[in-house]
Amino acid sequence: MEGHGGAPSRVRAAGINILFGYAGTVITALLSFILRKIFILHLDGTLLGVNGLYTGILSMLSMAELGVGTAFQFALYRPVAEKETETVKSYMAMYARVYRVVAAAIALLGLALTPFLPVLIRNPGSHSVRDLTLYYFIFLFNTVSTYFVSYKYALANAEQRNYIQTNVVTLTKFVTVLLQIAVLVLTENFYAFLLTDALVQLAQKIVVSVWMNHRYPLLRDRDVKPLDQTKRMEVWTKTRSLLMHRIGDALRLQTDAMLISAFIEVAAVGLVDNYLLVVNTIANFVNIIFNSVISGFGNLIATEEEEKQHAMFRVYRFFAAYAYGFSFVGFFVLLTPLISLLFGAEWVLPALAVQLFLLDYYFKGERVVLSNYKTAAGVFEPDRYLALLQGLVNLVISVALVRPLGLAGIYVGTLVSGLIANVTKPVIIYRSCFDGLSLKQYYLDNVKYMAVTGAALVLSVFLRGLLMPGAMTGGRISVPFFVLTAAVITVIFHVLFFLCFGRTKECGYLVELIRRRVRR
């Protein structure tokens, strides 16, 4: 690496992380779509809903992690960059102890929730409570066992080697999906489907644990000094603040599946899950870049002046406006037709619910930038109650509107609660990280980005009506016209976006960065 911790090494590390991330995403995306199609053919829609519901429940329970991982990851940036081995050993030993407690807490919370499963699962069809409970225990085992290994990735991530974790996940997913496809075709048994995943995941965790111990011998070292009081208190202070963030995020982001299952029916979770599969697959391409540079931001903040930090923050935000704006327009125009093509018209959701869901997706782009930068900077305290407020707002609005509006009512709650952060977090970022710089330009840029995205959306929707007139009303969709519509949307968005922003410093920086990479 060129100049330990410097800009060239940050860019190179991010590039490697992005390359492996994209390769992994392409492979897992293709396999996931194939698996989902075979699942629908060989098992009923209720089980697809149960699968989505339990995934949501376990994500909710994982708030027991309380942000410990984020706090430790932040704490590791500087000692890893400065090769302070003894300090790193102390942090990792403490991290391991805490995650064992977290695993026990999630296990207990998960078991305590078991009696309430019949209440959460509306219209389970022919599936007995016994079977639904056993399915849940398999999900719970997978989640709990993760915490005995996952903390070890923190060392690689602090070195900006996020691709290690990406490659492990990709390989595991590849093996798991191939085996699950075979199991579904041969047995059509949901138990066999879930146990296949559990066994592969368990084998992966054992292998990764052994390999990480070999790569980082300090993980095996028993001669570890306890962290001094100051460092311990710094971690726990950030963890206490992150607790509020985790609870709020869980209430806002992880309750939708439970509300849909409890107030509508569990099979509806499966319909939503198909949309999430498509959106998350595409969004992962964007998030790979964000997640790959987050450790680089931690290094940047630890080593560079505020002016450089702010310039890179603006570049990061510009890219988010482009990537989320483009994908939002594409989803708005093409998502429902794509679902109809992939899974059939019977799997299509009401238009209003999809539109509200996608609006929240668009505004999420800005929140990802703000949250990731705050995480890299270790700024957790100022908005520690904001996420909790968001979660409560989401629950209140969703429960109040789910009966009159159905699925759309749940997404009204998600959208409104998310916008609270879009308004308030920029203020926190600028006060905490860019003191003295005006927020006026930030909000002005927001208006410009939204205006250009909105113009591209209106024009794209109009052209979809000409090219695919029956796309939103259940009519037959032609694959060639679908592809043509996608191409037209791509041209429209890029022409408008780069006509308006092509001469900005942020765009110039990214273009030059791409040119340098191509020349190599």
Q: Which residue has the higher pLDDT, 295 or 74?
A: 74
pLDDT, mean of residues 25-52:
85
- What's the Cα-to-Cα distance from 282 to each of 25, 276, 277, 327, 333, rounded to whole Å? 9, 10, 9, 8, 14
What percentage of the chain reaches a pLDDT higher than 90?
32
Residue 368 lies in a domain: yes
Q: Which domain holds residue 216?
A: 11-303+349-437
pLDDT digits (tens, 9 = 90+) for 231-288: 777 777 766 666 676 777 777 777 888 899 999 998 898 899 899 888 888 887 777 6
**Is 315 part of any domain?**
no
pLDDT at residue 383 is higher than 80 = no
The confidence score (pLDDT) of residue 8 equals 44
Residue 358 placed within a domain = yes
Please compute the mean of the pLDDT values over residues 188-201 and round it to a whole number.
94
**pLDDT of res. 283:** 80
- pLDDT value at residue 172: 87
The per-type count for the chain, helices as H runs and strands as E runs, is: 19, 0
Q: Which pLDDT value is given to residue 240?
A: 67
Tell me how many domains the chain contains.
1
Q: Tell whether 450 is covered by a domain.
A: no
| Residues ≥6 apart with Cβ < 8 Å to 503 | none
Residue 377 in tokens: 């900077």
310, 297 contact by CB (below 8 A)? no
Taken in order 293, 294, 300, 305, the sign of the CA dihedral is positive
Give dist(CA 342, CA 136) in Å, integer.
28
Q: Is the distance from CB of 281 to CB of 32 less than 8 angstroms? A: yes
CA 285/CA 323 separation, integer angstroms = 9
In angstroms, the CA 138 to CA 131 distance is: 11
In-domain check, residue 126? yes
